[in-house]
Amino acid sequence: MLLVLSAEHRAHLGCLPRAGDAAVGELGRLALEQLRRGAAPRACEAAARKLNIGIDTIQHGVEGLVYLLTESSKLMISEIDFQDSIHVLGFSDELNKSLLQLYLDNRKEIRSILGELAPRLPSYHSLEWRLDVQLASRSLRQQIKPAVTMKLHLNQNEDQTAQVLQTDPATLLHLIQQLEQALGEMKMNHCRRIVRNMK
Amino acid sequence: QRFRFCGDLDCPDWVLAEISTLAKISSVKLKLICAQVLRDLLGEAIEYDKILKLTSDAKLESGDVKATIAVLGFILSSAAKHNVDSESLSSELQQLGLPKEHASVLCRSYEEKQSPLQDRLRACSLRLSQLGSVRWRVDYTLSSSELQEVNEPVVHLTFNVRDREGEKMTAVPVTLSADKFWVLLAGEEAAGTSVGWIC
């Protein structure tokens, strides 16, 4: 599967051959840092001064590399496809080889970073519970009414929320039975077939 | 096989696995590590460096040290939770394969701190909101824009309530006429007698 590079993208990457080999290594490093931690304008300024190139060119070059690497890692393209895709840029063989090396070395890490970007539902953190018995109220004395109070702690993107729930024991048993039925579905033939095919 | 300290359920597999790690530490050092774990369970700071020094002789890896702390924490808090006396705990631990010396050392540490541990667990139990304090003031209204001679007492109450998450104190101000205040007081007395009836 080939990557199609837009004209703007090609223009951004066009600064690479002019910059020289050392610069390419530096830009590659900046691109990876940007993927790991986000944009760092000061690092780009420092690189611009060191390599004696305009800061805009550096930023465009870094962004072009970031896009190239993320698209290639996202589609998990093979070496040959990567080489063919960057061939259109008309770079020297050495530059092509260093770009390929950059891609292969960091592909796995980039994929794991991309994996974390998917939206997430709140997930279970912990559950506190308490069993109470209501013995009397303003309206009625001498009752016996059990209730289970639960505080469900959830995690969503590093935010912790808590939900307080209260139920009587009969509903709780019904809830447990429903959840056990849901778990039991995993053992049915249909699920087993799918799980086996996914492995 | 059912164990009382696990709440009359099977012992978790990971606890069984770590019992053999506990046996590698000498019983004298185990007593000191228990003291540290108890400090952590009672809410004081744990001194991890001391534990590392104590386990260095047994040549445990860092994963094993953490597992030791986890299994000791589980045994002690679970025994306190189910109100197990130290002799039963000792015999059950020996059934799991812990040597007699180690079991007796662990149970002696447990026995010393059983009450404070149970008090602490009780304090940590789920609570939705908690009344901090009540402040009151009684005023006497002489006259108002509606009526020249009022001559009525008025009660101001401020309830300081700690919210669900236990972090902020909110002040809830309430103003009552004398009659309403008697109704409130009568309700509270009735609730008090109901509580007295159980205890």
Query: Per mean pLDDT, which range of A38-47, A101-110, A180-189, B71-80 is the poorest?
Result: A38-47
- Residues B32, B54 within the same domain: yes
Can you give the pLDDT at residue A132?
Answer: 92
Please count the CA atoms within 13 angstroms of the CA of B121 that sit on its side-chain side: 20
Strands (E), chain A: 123-134, 145-156, 159-167
Record: contact B125-A130, CB cut-off 8 A: yes
Same domain, B50 and B139: no
Q: Give the residue from B77, B92, B124 where a domain finishes.
A: B124
* Cβ within 8 Å, pair B126-A149: yes
Q: Are B4 and B78 in contact (CB under 8 A)?
A: no
Whether the predicted pLDDT of A10 surpasses 70: yes
Rounded to an integer, what distance in angstroms lies between the CA atom of residue A3 and that of residue A123? 36
Q: Do A164 and B125 touch (CB under 8 A)?
A: no
Domain coverage including residue B105: 4-124
Q: Is the CB of residue A151 less than 8 Å away from at least one CB of chain B?
A: yes
Q: Determine the 3-state secondary structure of A69 from DSSP.
A: helix
Same domain for B23 and B56?
Answer: yes
Task: Check whether residue B35 and residue B117 sit in a common domain.
Answer: yes
Residue A33 has pLDDT above 90, yes or no: no
pLDDT at B138: 93
CA distance B133 to B161: 7
**How many CB pairs below 8 Å do chains A and B form together?**
23
Question: Which A residues in the span 21-40 are in contact with B, Cβ-Cβ below 8 Å?
Answer: none
Q: Within this chain, do residues B168 and B89 fall inside the same structural domain, yes or no?
A: no
Q: Are B113 and B154 in the same domain?
A: no
Residue B166 has pLDDT above 70, yes or no: no
**pLDDT per position as a tens digit, A61-97:** 888 888 888 888 888 888 888 888 888 777 788 888 8
* Same-domain pairing of B81 and B148: no
Residue A149 CA: distances (Å) to CA of A78, A152, A192: 55, 10, 36
Phi-psi region of A157 (alpha: psi -120 to 50; beta: other; left: phi over 0): left
Identify whether residues B139 and B99 lie together within a single domain: no
B75 lies in the same domain as B173: no
End residue of a domain, out of B124, B147, B163: B124
How close does chain A come to B45, measured CA to CA in Å? 22
User: Scanning every residue of chain B, which has its alpha carbon at the shortest distance from the alpha carbon of A151?
Assistant: B126
Residues in A touching B194 (Cβ below 8 Å): 135-136, 141
> Are residue B100 and residue B149 in the same domain, yes or no?
no
Tokens of A134: 């209501």
Q: What is the mean pLDDT of residues B131-148?
A: 90
Length of chain A: 199
User: Is the Cβ pair A162, B128 closer than 8 Å?
Assistant: no
Q: What are the structural domain ranges in chain A?
A: 7-117, 123-198
Q: What is the count of structural domains for chain B?
A: 2
Yes or no: say if B37 and B72 are a contact pair by the CB < 8 Å rule.
Answer: yes
The stretch A133-162 carries a mean pLDDT of: 87
Same domain, B148 and B97: no
Interface ipTM > 0.85: no
Answer yes or no: is pLDDT of B165 > 70: no
| Residue B113, both tokens | 């701190």
Same-domain check for residues B57 and B115 = yes
The band of A169, judged by pLDDT with boundaries at 50, 70 and 90, is very high
